[in-house]
Amino acid sequence: MSEGAENDETEKLRTPETVSDFDEAETSKVDTQSNYTEKLTENELQIIQQVKKFDIECDEVSSSFVNFKRLKGQFNDEQRSVRTGLPRVSFPDLDRQIKSKVYNHPTIRGLVIPAAGYSEIVLRSYDRILGNLAMERIFRLVGETSDCRHQEADKQLPTVPITLHAMRGPEMINPRLHVTNIGGRECIEISNASPLAMLLFGRRFAAGRSADSSAFIPTLKVDFGGSANNEDVIVKATDELVQSFLYELDVRNGLVLGTYTRRLPLGIIPTRRRAPKMDKIRYPKIGIRYEVAGLFSFASQANDNPSLAFLSYYQTLEYFIPAAVRQNALKMIRRELKDPEFEEDNDNSLMRIITVTERSVNIPEASQLRTLVNEFVRVDRLVEFFQDDWGGHFGKKGPIAGVDAINIHDTANLVIQVAERVYRIRNRIVHAKDDPKYQDSRVLLPQSQEAQALRPDVELARFLAMEAILAYQGSK
């Protein structure tokens, strides 16, 4: 890490919950109640007290290792308390890290330290070879480290040594893949997590793992070679550099790596599927085309990918658009034919029918979807859908950008509101146009927090698809 970390106070990682500040007056009382104080140096005790600001507590101490317990839900998207460990040789690096203000990366699992011009992002493998085996492939690659200031041992980026249990006994190694740009100002490294990242994001998976074993949590570390102006600056720079680096690992080196999206902030709760309450099964009474059943089933199975699920339900709707447009056109033609003023020999009368026919052929896709919702979806059931508790998702402060709120009280225009919302979300998922006119409605990235928040809209698309399937039974 660069030497810009000079601030004496570590700022808590920002989370939706408010955590009370660490009270130094309580430290001596807490320590005297723990038997581990006899095994630790005064400096180590001070560091342990400092990491309590992150809601991380010392749990167990050995001659070479300290185990910690990370309290649930405070900083790291955890649903329960998690234990992780740190070799005591890593405490000096941990001490240097926590002397600066530390921030959570706002959308992906990682941390940023602007005063040090440093960021660190947790990696995951999407390779066919899973887990640590995939990561081992990375360390066989050769990095570019000429003229890099991190070549000296005392200036290397912080990382927790990995413990190998070989036949000759425990051995600690420190594999790194390090690259630098021309001039050596900015550096990127893939290695085991730094001490602070290990405490914030590490966990023990395997039952029976030795208490003195270091976990392997691969992270991508970025040293920008100097302090950043603020958190937003370093986050933006990190995002661009990390994605570019992962892209080149994919296309140049055949390694598919990614990041972990943070859980949604409290108050934006992903909605689970509305479970039917019927206990009896029956012989199917609804005849569904093979293609429709395949699309609908795939959407239901893609529950862990809201964007993909939404598109599959939308494709289910598209299947019925021609039938809805045709039904609407026939309804309008019959109305013209029943008009008392209609005359077969009158050109104006015939032109009205021709106009209806032409409109049904050249109608834009957005209008086609509106026609489908109007023809096939029962308005009273649509009102019931929005009367469920969606946690303000469809309101003015909803988490999805580029769409209008749904006014459930405006039943006359409810169909138009719903059709426009569904169509706009579809466009945000499908289109990724680099055009200023799309600035307010940029592409909805599949692994973003916004995609996680999409689930109520997925349920809306699912409901519309079920209504279309049901209505189609009576229109054939």
Return the pLDDT at 33: 39
Dist. CA 100–CA 50, nearest whole Å: 12
Dist. CA 231–CA 103, nearest whole Å: 8
pLDDT 10s digits, 377-430: 999 999 999 998 888 899 998 889 889 999 989 988 999 999 999 999 999 998
Selected residue with higher pLDDT from 124 and 147: 124
What are the residues facing 177 on neighbouring strands?
190
Instruction: Give 15's pLDDT tier (boundaries 50, 70, 90).
Output: very low
pLDDT 10s digits, 151-171: 777 788 999 988 655 444 455
When the pLDDT of each residue in the chain is averaged and rounded to a whole number, the result is 79
Selected residue with higher pLDDT from 327 and 173: 327
Nearest to residue 387, comparing CAs of 409, 358, 418, 416? 409
Nearest to residue 111, comparing CAs of 54, 184, 46? 54
Instruction: Say if pTM beats, i.e. exceeds, 0.85.
Output: no
Among 200-209, 261-270, 382-391, the range of highest mean pLDDT: 382-391
Cα three-residue angle 208-210-214, rounded to 5 degrees: 125
Q: Where are the alpha helices (DSSP H) in 35-130?
A: 42-51, 91-97
Selected residue with higher pLDDT from 198 and 140: 198
Return the pLDDT at 268: 54
Q: Six-digit token pair at 395? A: 């309101």
Classify residue 425 as exposed, middle or buried by CB count within 10 Å of its CB (0-12, 13-18, 19+): buried
pLDDT 10s digits, 69-117: 888 655 656 656 788 888 899 999 999 999 989 999 988 999 999 999 9
Return the pLDDT at 439: 56
Instruction: Give 433's pLDDT tier (boundaries 50, 70, 90).
Output: low
Q: Where are the alpha helices (DSSP H) in 91-175?
A: 91-97, 131-138
What are the residues facing 64 on neighbouring strands?
none
Q: Dump the DSSP string for 286-337.
A: S---HHHHHHHHHHHHTTT-HHHHHHHHHHHHHHHHHHHHHHHHHHHHHHHH
Q: How far is CA 441 from CA 48, 127, 426, 436, 460, in A?
A: 46, 32, 11, 10, 20
389 φ, ψ to 5°? -85, 105
Cα three-residue angle 417-422-423, rounded to 5 degrees: 100
**Phi/psi class of residue 296: alpha, beta or left (left: φ > 0; alpha: ψ in -120 to 50)?**
alpha
